[in-house]
Each structure stands twice: as structure tokens, then as C-alpha cells.
Structure 1
Amino acid sequence: MIMARDQLTSCVLMLLCFLGSAHLLLAAAATTLQFTGGSHSHRDRVARRMADLLASLPSAPPSKSSTTNSASRVYHVTDYGADPTGKSDSVAAISKTISAAFSTAAASGMSLFAGIANLGGIEIHLDGGLYFITTPLVLPPGVGNINIHGGSLRAAEDFPADRYLIELWPEQATGQRNSSSSDSGASSQYDYEFVTFRDLLLDCNYRGGGIAVIDALRTSVHNVYIVHFTSYGISVQAGHETMIRNSFIGQHITAGGDPGEKKFNGTAISLAGNDNSVTDVVIFSAAIGVLVSGQANSLTGVHCYNKASG
């Protein structure tokens, strides 16, 4: 069966080669007759016959278009005007990118947890830039399956001291407090699900905190470097199953034996919720490394030094 198929393939290839060669020879002959002597009527008859023969030869099938794939769901902040050099405020451009991505993906109609749209794994790509922001990046509630990655954010000198560079915070997004949330960390309602932050550097510039995760379900913070916070590097409130792993968090950039260690303050990670996980994280400077006030949280491979404890 395989041998017969191979023989058929060889025959088809030989036929195509023959037809191609014949095509070239006939075209050359027609050109030669056009410029040589002989009866005018005889040349016309030969030319017409060759033209008919050329028209009868099979043509190559059209190649498939490379543009048949559907539009990409990777949204680049630089396409929306963000400045990757950090010289100008990029918060409006990045927020515009997020809005464009969410409005497009939400049209799919798919959902995760009740009330949370499944955005299909869209990516907000920071293109390896360093972005200066004057106000927080707030994700609207009711969205899930999102990946934000690949760059650095730095707070402005007048950044709000009681806010975070990135916020999953429905109260800030809508201006209304979620009545289902409580100080105990329990919640009967979630506003976000399966949001991933990875490969980011967040410089709080001693103005507020790094990431706020509030009323969120199954959030992932992976390979993130957070520095210069004054409140919390990462604050988890209510929600469920936030995973923080393979990250570096410190108020001051140091590698031990810092003379200003006694003055370090702030908390690297606060877990005011249940069933969260912190794995393989180094906290290299803070007053408190990990503050746990919820239940059933797990800490594995967490190293705290330079005053940080917890």
C-alpha cells in the first residue's frame, strides 16, 4: 500500500515536471517564430495552435493565504501609545489597552465562575518596557482568564500612597464596596478569576504597594520582583486560592548586612484570606515578611532576611 502510494506520487511529480518543461519550450518556440522568416499566414497558424495548447495546460493551484488565521489576542501596550522608556506617564495608554482587550474578548459569551467572563487567555504584553504611571492600573470586575506580563512599572512621585500599582480591587474599579466581603477574609462573591501576573518588576517608589488582590479567585503571581513599597508588596484580601511563587520582594534593594536594616518597614505579603499559597519566595527586606490572618494558607520555601520575619 505504501509502495503504491509512493509510485503514484513519483508519477505525478514527473508529469508536473514534463508539463512545466513543455510550457517553457512552447513559449520559447512561439517567441522564435515571431522574429523569424517564413510565410506570414503560416506563422499565424502556428502561433494560434501554440496559444491554444498553452491555454489547455493545467495551472498551479493557488497557495493558501497566510492571513486566514483569526486576529491575535495578544495586546501590546506600545500599540496604544505607552512609552516604554519611562519618560512620560503611560497609565492612560495601558488602561486603554486593557479596555480594548476586555471589550473584544468578552464578546465570546463564555464564562468561568458565576458572573465572571472567560476572556480566553488574552495577554496584555508590556513589551519589555519600563512604564511610568501616576495612578493605579485597575482591572474591571467580572473578568477572568487573563495574563499580564513582560515589563516594569514605576510609581510617580505623586502616586497615591494608599493604593497599589496593580489592583484587582472591585471597590476602586466601580466606586462601590462589595457587601459580600468581610474582614475575616470570607466572601460569597468573587469578582475576578484566573488572572496571572508574571515576569514583572514593580517599583513602588516608596509610594503605596505593589499588587492588591481582593475578592479574586485562583490568581497567580509568578516571577515578580517588587521593591520600594511602604504598605504591602502584595495584599490578598478575601477571595480564594491566590498563588504567589518564584518571586523576590523587598522594601529596599539590598543583599544582607544593610546598615539601615533597623529602619525597614512595610509588609512584603499579607494573606487576609483562605487557601492561599506562597512558594519559593525570597523576602529580602521589610519589617514583616508574611502576615497571615486567614485560614488554611500554606508557605513553602519562603526565605526572609534583613529584618523581615513571619
Structure 2
Amino acid sequence: MTRRYTSEISPLIGPECDIPAPDVGTDELTMAWMMDTYSTARGHTVPGVVTGKPIVLGGSLGRASATSRGVVRVALAALAERGFVPSKTTAAVQGFGKVGRGAAVFLAEAGVRVTGVSDRFGGVYNPDGLDVPALARHVDRTGSVVGFEGSEAIDRDDLLTLPVDLLVPAAMESVITAANVDDIQATIIVEGANGPTTTAADRMLRDRDVLVVPDILANAGGVIVSYFEWAQANQTYRWPLHQVEQRLEERMLTAWEAVSTSAAKTGRTLRQTAMITAVQRVAEAHAIRGLYP
């Protein structure tokens, strides 16, 4: 199915055109199939046609964890802005997949007390903090966070309303709604998933002065390192892991500073500011290039 799909869209994709990358339901093997199918039709290997590939096929070191790492980098910056110290901060992470698992691990490594984690089967909670590395091993063995020793079982939806400082929705879209927003206790929400907050809920969170770091900013790490992977494909030169992670951190913090500073000056939300900033940059580039013909 993947190869047939790639064959049909091949006129629309390419290393200088639209470049696919993995998301929900796809992985690096899917990207390998796409690259191979496209390359076969071209008669030579084209590693830059997709990103998120296996390392042996030209993938980038650090790509698999890039979204999670970017989410946590921005989350720590948001915590600092609100006066939180990681060692005295609690967090809950919805989702323990591609983004949520890494986010929980990196938050714990930064000293944040991760008290709650959920997946599609259920959730676990420990007010004293979960042993995240042990939880990851439990998931590897059982396929779910459910039943993790030393934790209290909770409903997966109750994860969103736990008494924590930081909430990271890193699963699916539209999970924070007008129906549950009043029960959310976190003062900072960092969107690891795409579109986890509905428009109505977003307005209500703003009225309560809950800081929402939008997906367009928070989960950009994966796209950034996808660009790095594309750049490496063009150079036919692999960057070392520390260089990838350093450049990712620089990009994420530069974006955070620009959006956060502008939001503070204008009184807009981070979501409004991020979108306006993005549109302004594109509009400025178009204006400089002019219209032709």
C-alpha cells in the first residue's frame, strides 16, 4: 500500500519539492519504503525525498527523539518564565508513544517530578513521582503503562485533570475541550500533540491565565531535525549527534524567545503570536521577491 501510494504521488514529491516525514501510524520503515520506491522510479538513490529514515539509509542521528526533546526544551523555558524550578515542579504527560515517552524521560532527566502518564489503555499516577525509566521498561514488556508497579491506576482521561504544574498533551487532537477545561489544574500546558486544545478551551484557558505553548512552537523539533536530515542528505555528510542536538536546542530557544518576547509586548497569546510571526515572515519574503509575471 505504501509503495503504491508513493508511486501515485511521486510527481508531487521530491527533494526540492514536498518532502514526506513520519507521523501517527507510520515509522522509519515506512519512510524507507517510500524512498526506495521513489528512487527506483528515478533510477538512482534519492535520500532527500523523505525524512525520518533509518540511520543506515541516510537518516539523521537524533531524529527519533527530536520532537520530544524540543517539547521539553520549550517546556523548561516556559517553566522558568513562570518562576518554576524543575526540581520543585510536577508534570503529567498524556501519551507514551513517539512524543510522550521521550517527553516524560527528558522531563525526569531535567529533575521534574513526573507524577502521571497515560496511554490509550489507561493511566498511572504517583504523587511522589513515577520512576520513568522503569515505566519505559514496563511498557516495553507489556505494551502499556497499565499495571505499572508502585503507581495508582487512573482513567486515561483523568490524566488531564491531575494536580500538576505542567501538562503535556502528547497524544491526539481535541482532548482539551470546553467540557473538561474547568477541571484542568495545570498552570502551564505545552502541546506535544497537534491540535490538542479546541478553540473554545483555548479561550477559557487564556481567561484563567494558563500559559499554553502552542503546537506550532512546542512540537517543531521533529520538523527541525527533518530539515537537518535533508541538509545532511544534500551534503552527503552525517552530523554527529551532539551537533544535531545543539542546533535543535538553539533553534527551539530562538523561536521561544522571539514568540515569548513579542507576546509579552503585544498582550497576545503565544498561539496568536506564533501564527502572526509565521505569516509575517512569509509575507515579508513574498514582498521582497515581488510578483512575477
TM-score (norm 1): 0.23
TM-score (norm 2): 0.24
Q: Which has the larger radius of gyration?
A: 1
> Which structure is higher in strand share?
1
Q: Which structure has the higher relative contact order (CA within 8 Å, separation 6+)?
A: 2
